[in-house]
Chain A
Amino acid sequence: MGVLQDFFTYLHHLSQVIHYALTLDPRLYAYVSANPSANWLVAGVVFLAGASTLLGQSVVLFVNRVRRGRFLFSLALNGVMYIISYLVWGAMIALVGRFLFSDPPAWGSVIRLVGLSTAPLIFGFFILIPWMGPFIGRVLNVWGFLILLSAVEFGFQIGFWQALLCVGLGWLLMLALHRAVGRPIVALRNRLWRRVIGSSLDASTEDLLLQFAQKGEAPVVLQRGRQ
């Protein structure tokens, strides 16, 4: 009973964190940066953002004819991957901040603040909407970027342009890291996706349909046309 109550309390706090993050509320930044106990709340936000974003882009899962169980597993897996990538992303920004600004906050504090910037992506499943979905995706990304800037501003107690510089340099550092040691990690990630869904996440619908056309299970008109 106590576990269940704790879970509902967690959900209640999570919804409040999401609400305040979406409105760029500095009171939330103060709470999150000062309390290591907020780790689980921020992890919850990032996990939901990752799962929802993949749901929004789930056409690749459907085209691969992923079964329901694996579909749900893929969403959860993407949530976990989001947590890992935002840990690295937060660490990069914290590293840049340490070089650029005096009196930087603790690493964990910066990482938690960066994690909050994923809050808008909780609406990532709206990317599913036909025609306007990709536009919604871009709006959510811009919204997340604005949260990131304001969180960095708050975390390092700096101005907008300094925050922009810090985030920009952090992004360049991520790119460099990706070039230097990222390839094996990306290969591992792709291998994982291939095991779970049957192809990499960036395969196009047309390519996948062509693959299926060569198998006997495709609809007749597709087999006939692509012979």
Chain B
Amino acid sequence: MITYLFLGVFLLLFVTAALAPLESLGWWAGWTREASAKEARPKAKPSVAAHRADEPDFYLIYLSGIGAISGDSFPEEEYPFLQGLKARLPTAKVITDVYPYSVTNNGLTGQRFFAGLWKRIEKMRWKNPNSMLALFVNLRNALQMFVSADRRYGPIYNLGIANEIYRVLLQHGYRPENGRPIVLLGWSGGGQIAIGAANYLADLPSPLYVISLGGMLSDDPGLEKLTHLWHLYGVADPLQALGAVLYAGRWPIFPHSPWNNAMAEGRIDIICLGHYRHNNERNYFDMKTPLPNDARGRTYGEKTLDAVVHILEDQKLIGGASEEEEQRQRSAAATMQEAPPSSSLQTAA
């Protein structure tokens, strides 16, 4: 009996995994309802800002991890980080409404057959963030991340995501002719999807940067095209380390893979943040737990935020703000405390 149960679960998992690419493939083939909704959608109208010369200095698009339910429903812990990010980047446009696990930016609670089920899970997760049912969201989205990394499906999946990012950029006032830099900040699975979408977004006349936060990255062909990738990781985060194991193109024995080429060209920086974990306490977004032995008394999340801001400063995307200005930004964020660090980053080869 137990054997049959085990076999049944195993088979169900396999069938679910086999069905995972069909959403994006069906979109491309014009099979799905989402596809027709997409066609019917009016062309993105540039916002008022697009008609003015005061376009933001750059655009930062946040691609959430595999726990995201839609473009506006992330795990609770990510919100203070995003608020902090917006407060620290006043000259940038921080965009958070791209759902990277659907080629049509259709969240799980959107127009879907199982939308009702996902809505229930979403409610449950608000009550109890550690609910076991929330794991279904992670499983579903993790499979989409693997679709993005798969050379057979990646070109289609990543095209859909890039197309949605481009559409959302236009909605937020992006004007290609101005060539304002684009930064994709991908957390966990969002990191992989960011480098996948880079394959198409890099053809826009803007410098394209990717910051991966604990991302499980493959040797995606998008790496050949993006301007620079920073991979931030914690030593206690085994999930991000899996990328280097699962994808043969990241092994040193394939020196001409997109990953190893980009490494050789110095377009990838791997930055260790310290003893960070992927989930639970001491994760990249943890704004409660203080770092041990940190002179400025920052939390884990604050250090992550500082690291992202430091990278952007280093690229001259944001000007060196004065102490007073920084103080003002911090009070606005309410969660932030300290000045950006310059020495806390350790860059590995």
Contact = CB atoms under 8 A, between A and B. Distances in A.
A221 B161 CA distance: 10
Which applies to chain B's interface (DSSP): helix, strand, loop or mixed? helix
A130 B166 contact: no
B14 A129 contact: yes
A34 B85 CA distance: 75
Contact of B167 (A62, A66, A133, A220): A220
B29 interface: yes
B28 A222 contact: no
A63 B155 CA distance: 10
B159 A130 contact: no
Interface string A22-42: 000000000000000000000
Nearest to B38: A219
B152 A129 contact: no
A130 B20 contact: yes
Nearest to A136: B14
Nearest to B221: A206
B126 interface: no
A65 to B, nearest CB: 5
Given A130-B146, A130-B149, A224 B204 contact: yes
A221 B30 contact: no
B334 interface: no
Contacts of A58: 25
B156 interface: yes
A128 interface: yes
A132 B17 CA distance: 10
Interface string A42-66: 0000000000000010110111011
Contacts of B143: 130
A99 interface: no
Interface residues of A, number: 28
Contacts of A222: 159, 163, 200
Contacts, number: 88
B262 to A, nearest CB: 19
A226 B18 CA distance: 31
Contacts of B26: 62
Contact of A130 (B21, B202, B204): B21
Category for how many chain B residues contact A? 35 or more
A209 B155 contact: yes
A222 B166 CA distance: 10
Contacts of B22: 128
Which applies to chain A's interface (DSSP): helix, strand, loop or mixed? helix
Nearest to A206: B155
Given A62-B28, A126-B18, A131 B246 contact: yes
A66 B29 contact: yes
Interface in A190-214: 205-206, 209
A125 interface: yes
Given A131-B149, A131-B150, A220 B163 contact: yes
A58 to B, nearest CB: 8
B61 to A, nearest CB: 13
Among A65, A66, A219, which residue has the most Cβ atoms of chain B within 10 A? A219
A131 B143 CA distance: 9
A212 B20 CA distance: 24
Contacts of B163: 219-222
Given A65-B30, A131-B149, A225-B203, A126 B14 contact: yes
A68 interface: yes
Nearest to A125: B18
Given A128-B18, A129-B18, A221-B163, A59 B25 contact: yes
Contacts of B25: 58-59, 62-63
Given A221-B163, A224-B204, A130 B17 contact: yes
A226 B160 contact: no
B159 A209 contact: yes
Interface string B137-156: 00000010011011111011
B254 interface: no
Contacts of A56: 18
Contact of A221 (B28, B147, B159): B159
Given A130-B20, A224-B203, A219 B159 contact: yes
B229 interface: no
Contact of B31 (A68, A206, A209): A68
A125 B204 CA distance: 37
29 contacts: A59-B152, A59-B153, A62-B26, A62-B156, A63-B25, A63-B29, A68-B31, A128-B22, A129-B14, A130-B17, A130-B21, A130-B143, A131-B146, A131-B149, A131-B150, A205-B151, A205-B155, A205-B156, A220-B163, A221-B159, A221-B163, A221-B165, A221-B200, A221-B201, A222-B163, A222-B200, A224-B166, A225-B202, A225-B204
Interface of A: 56, 58-59, 61-63, 65-68, 125-126, 128-133, 205-206, 209, 219-222, 224-226
The 10 closest A-B pairs by CB, nearest first: A225-B203, A62-B25, A130-B146, A219-B163, A128-B18, A130-B150, A221-B166, A129-B17, A205-B155, A221-B163
